[in-house]
Structure formats: structure tokens, C-alpha cells
Amino acid sequence: MKQEILSLFHEAGLSRYAERFEPLIRPSFRIFTHPVDEEALSPGSSKIGGCPDLPAGTPWPYWKSYPLSFLAQINLAELPPFPENILPERGLLLFFFAAAAMYDDKDFYDSVETARVLFVPDPDGAGLKRTAPPEELDDYDPPARFSPCSLRYLVEWTVPPGESCDIEQLGMSWNENRDDFDRYWEVFGQRVEERFLHPDDMKNRLLGCPDPIQGDMQRECQLLADPSTDRNDQAALRRATRWRLLFQVDSEEEKTGMMWGDVGRLYFWIEQEALERGDFSRVVCIEQCG
């Protein structure tokens, strides 16, 4: 599959970038949701929405005075075979986000603390307990609690969006080698989407490359994680390519009750080095919508 995508890259007239582009072709777990009675799921099962299965004694995460909303948990042992050995073979990833604070606190968009990922290395020995969220999450508008869905996975190969530091570092952008950038965006990218990606409009993912709505997120991650970064600093741009998509969740209002802005998505990002050592303690979450 990766070589077939690389062939499309050559056919689009982009061969001179091929050697540096090949490592950017990344596999992804595409996630499909199915509404479920949460009581039918055993503790530690993968799901989007519902109540988290927290290890005994784990406090509910907060940002400021806001309880974080539980988004999803992924049991790594339930994932299908994958061509990239980057996640631990077992463990439970739990994703939280300060949904209640999005339209309620002026500091929200300048903080990296509004998202949290908890990693439980040994779910079987952690004394997992299905934990109801704080009651105040029921009082927010829009809703800050979400409906449970079981998950099905499909392994897809993905490529970076045109507007990304990954592609800009190859020497293509709106301002540099614009003809090649247009070939990448309008010819190659369109062919990849048509031939290799599932046509469902809902795009939930674990790993891989993001499905953006507005534009580059890697530079935004770098600026949020290090506010002293100069937007025009080329070294900072190179550092921004270390940020990789960890998890992406869509607005599936009818299934999960999630609506991110105007039919948008949430994107959890992690630095490559942290991902490789299994350190999920620092993530950046970005919301994009139309």
C-alpha cells in the first residue's frame, strides 16, 4: 500500500521530493463508532463517550475549576495488527478535554492544560472502576457529557495535508514552489483520498496524519507548547515537524452527542520522541471547524 501511494506521488510529478516524503506516509487506525448500552462493555473496553474506566484512586481531571469531559478510551490490546510498532502492545489510553470551558474562559485557547491523556500500562491489575463524571458537566450548554459507542477499526495509510510543516519542510508551500504544492494538494492528495481512504465523512483516527478543516496544526502545537517561539523562526519550524497526530475525534452528534464548533473535529497531538517512549503526559489539543 505504501509503495502504491509513492507511485501516485511520482505520477503527480513530485519525484524530486520522494526520498524525503516516503517516511511521511503513515498508517492510521480509522475508527468507526456504534451506539451501545455501556453496561454491555466490560471494564477497559475501547469506546468513545460514556463513562471512563479509571484505575482505583484516580481523581477526576480538571482544568482550573472545570471538570474535563471524557472523550474516549482505547484498549491497545484490542487494536488490529499494525505496520508501525510505535504504541505499547497493551495498556489503556483515556482522552479528556475541557469542553465546558471552550466558550466560557478567555484563557482556554492559550493553554495546553485543557486536554489530558491518561495511560494505564496494566489495565488488568489497575482495579478499573467505571466512574461517573462530576454532576456539573450535566449543566453546560452545549453538552459536556457524551453518549457511549463501541469501536471498529480499519487500518488506513495516510499522507500529510498540504498545509503542514511536514510538507513545507520538503520545500513546497503557498509561497515556495507553488506549482509543486498545487500538484501535491490538488492532484496527489485527491487521488490518495479517492483510492485509499474510506469514504465515510466521519473521520475518527488514532495515529497517522490528520484530516484538517482549516490548515496547519503542527506550528500551532509548537507555539502553544513553547509560547516563546518566534513564528518566523525557521529552527522552530523544524521543531514543529516533531508533532504527530495521536487521536482525532469528529462531530458525530447523532451517535456520540459531540459537536465541536460548527461540525468540527478535535485533534490530540504528541511529540514524536514522547510517543516513542510511551510518555503521554504532554499533549496539545486543537479544535478546528468550518
The pTM of this model reads 0.96
139: confidence class by pLDDT, cuts 50, 70, 90: confident
pLDDT, tens only, 66-97: 999 999 999 999 999 999 999 999 999 999 99
Element (H, E) at 153: strand 149-158
Whether 154 has a pLDDT exceeding 90, the answer reads yes
Q: Which residues contact 181 (CB under 8 A, 6 or more apart)?
A: 162, 167, 172, 173, 174
Determine the straight-line distance between the first and last CA of the chain, rounded to whole angstroms.
Answer: 31
Whether 157 has a pLDDT exceeding 80, the answer reads yes
Whether 235 has a pLDDT exceeding 80, the answer reads no
